Amino acid sequence: MATIKEPSALASRAAGTTRRSFAISGEPRGRQRWFVEGLRAELLGAGYEALPEPGPDTDLVLHCVDPATARPYRRKAAATFVVAIAELATEPDDLLRAGYPLLVRALANLCVLVVDGPDGPGARFVTLEQGTYGVGPGVEEDKLFRRSFERVEPLASSRLVIANEFVPDLPEELWDGDVSTQQIRRAGERLATLDLLPTPFPMDDYLSERDQRHVKLLFGIGGLSYGNVSARRIADDGIRTNEFWMSASGVDKSALTRVGEHILLVREHDPERGAMVLSVPPDLTPRRVSVDAIEHWMIYREHPDVGAILHVHGWIDGIESTDVNYPCGTIELAQAVAELVRRSPDPSRAVVGQRNHGMTITGHDLDEIFERVGDRIVDRVPME
């Protein structure tokens, strides 16, 4: 049995036994310093403890970077939330193109670009999930700091569930999958046909081999790809189980073929370790399951009629959405999405949004989901 344990800092935070802390990394300059000092005051006012320097148990690191020579902050635990803060001389024409490389180079969870213009300063946010939004210009200084804090704090205090426990007990008759994994394969191909699989971010172009190893160690991903699919496992006697098959993290979703590498069987959630328990074939080095597994687990357990779940970086006008763009793989995002599904007129056929990110769609099976909403999905997610 191979277990990737949850960091101690995260376990303490989840139990509510420690006061949240923050520290500043790097040397802030100019408007960057102005923004860091304003955010620091908001954090202190909210009860955060300011540490003289970041360490393995620091909850939040404000990492100051130079856009021309951005350096990574190499955290010791995945539970540490890193905000990369940089100053730009002008408002970028393409916020994602300007901010996302800095986010990746800094090994951060969130990037904040501080910009100055004729209407005053503003803050531009770029998330790991490719969400973008802004605060200002044209707002008073104290309101800009307050609104920026309100954007950062829910993300920084959220709790990751990204550990995987691999149990090599998958029955031999499932080593090549079943009818549910065939649905998942077809769903991945359909996503490619609908042009709903954004090109994975080219980490090789922005990170050294050492930093890529660091990312893989912390988050269990070998690349940044987007979207995921899952399907409830049906037993031989036709009984629906609480287990579900799900696409792996960082793989090409248009070519989901191998069990244990492209598709994994999720058996359970272990709340003590914050880990997803996976059944895999023996004598195999498996990939991690998608970080959204905790969200799918909650939905499947609560709604027996849900047979499949699709998550895409696309949108359908008029859907209800979460209020906060919590990071993927957190309890908070899973709970927010599960609540929207619960409030849907028919939870087994729900379509709900994730703010600045994408959609989660439930259905009786994956084929039914595409028949119902496939031609309504647009590939542009509204940002705010």
Give 72-129 pLDDT, tens digit per residue: 999 888 789 999 999 999 999 989 889 988 998 898 999 999 998 888 899 999 998 8
62: nearest Cα among 85, 29, 79? 85
- Considering the chain, what percentage of its residues have pLDDT values greater than 90? 67
Q: Which CATH architecture has domain 163-376?
A: 3-Layer(aba) Sandwich (3.40)
Token pair listed for 293: 């597994």
What crossing angle do the helices spanning 141-156 and 30-45 adopt, rounded to 10°? 70
Q: What is the pLDDT of residue 23?
A: 97
Nearest-5° angle of CA 275, CA 43, CA 274? 5
Give 127-174 pLDDT, tens digit per residue: 988 889 999 999 999 999 999 999 999 999 998 898 899 999 999 999
**60 to 23, 48, 74, 75, 100: CA distances (angstroms):** 7, 9, 13, 10, 19
pLDDT at 380 over 50: yes
The whole-model pTM stands at: 0.87
Map out the domains of the chain as residue ranges: 21-156, 163-376
**Under CATH, to which class is 21-156 assigned?**
alpha beta
Whole-number Å distance between alpha carbons of 134 and 345: 33
Give 303-359 pLDDT, tens digit per residue: 999 999 999 989 999 999 999 989 889 999 999 999 999 999 999 999 999 998 999
pLDDT-derived band at 2 (thresholds 50, 70, 90) equals very low
pLDDT-derived band at 6 (thresholds 50, 70, 90) equals very low
